[in-house]
Amino acid sequence: MAGADSPTGADDAGVFDATVRDGVCRLACPGFRVLSTGFDGGVRDADAVHNVTVPEGWDDGGRRDLAAYVDERVAAAGFPERPDAPALLTGVDQTHARSARIGPVEVVATAGLSNPAALPVDGAVSARAPPSVGDPDTAPRHDGTVNLVVGTTRDLEPGALANLVAVAAAAKAATLLSAAGVPDTTSDAVVVASDPAGDPAAFSGAATAVGAAARACVRDAVLASLRSRYGPETDASIPDSVGDAAYGVTTDERAAVSPLEAGDTEH
């Protein structure tokens, strides 16, 4: 359920207890098993997940102590210390965070597209492709970013918890392709959280209750966040192309592809 000063959802029951203050969204989930792909990622038991908006022009450049920075922001917002709570960073204001809920799943998303990441699949090469992500002068930024926090009241097996990251990422890519013509930004991240006290679930694919709900929630939360960020009542618009975006990249490299050679098999 949403906190009193949070814009992220209605008052009906949800997976998270969400509160937004001073550019920090705290999604409380006491005792949950959490897997994060963020800078402090991995698997752990946690009581909360944080989504932190960085100020305009903020660029860590690989030199900032991100954990210390997040700790300072969380403390300044008046939240408890976060010894085990993972965090995500974004340039998107938390007023654009949106929550979507179906059955045992809730997804909270913030979506920005100033740094789209295109992946041509038809053989075409972008004529306006910017330098590669590996260039230190064009390092991935958090000005845009699509951050997803996916929570479920089910007790997911370890493989199902990890697979839920893939399910959420695929749903995000499909949504962004439809809405903006790109599958990613250069700094997208996903956190998935499962309640060990819930009913067990061995799988989380698209045909399961958890997976199907997660796909729909990701789609709807991302679209709602995009409408908030780039809708008709704003002064911003989704870039028409990677070349028109402030920090976008296009992956134009082509890999060498070959069949696997069959080897001898012992019986």
- Give the per-residue pLDDT at 170: 98
* Rounded-to-integer distance, Cα 173 and Cα 159, Å: 21
Of 188, 263, 238, which is closest to residue 36 (Cα–Cα)? Answer: 188
Contact 26, 18 (CB under 8 A): yes
Pairing between β-strand 116-118 and β-strand 87-90 as defined by DSSP bridges: unpaired
- The yes or no reply on domain 17-129+139-250 and CATH 3.60.70 is yes
Per-domain residue ranges of the chain: 17-129+139-250
Q: What is the pLDDT of residues 43-102, one digit of tens each?
A: 999 999 999 999 877 765 555 789 999 999 999 999 999 889 999 999 999 999 999 999
- Give the per-residue pLDDT at 124: 52
Q: What is the pLDDT of residues 173-227, one digit of tens each?
A: 999 999 999 999 999 999 999 999 999 999 999 999 999 999 999 999 999 999 9
Residue type, 149: V
Structure-token pair, residue 40: 């402090």
Of 175, 174, 169, 171, which is closest to residue 188 (Cα–Cα)? Answer: 169
Pairing between β-strand 155-156 and β-strand 189-194 as defined by DSSP bridges: unpaired
Q: What is the pLDDT of residues 99-158, one digit of tens each?
A: 999 999 999 999 999 889 999 887 554 434 444 444 434 444 556 799 999 999 999 999
pLDDT of 5 > 80? The answer is no
- Give the per-residue pLDDT at 9: 40
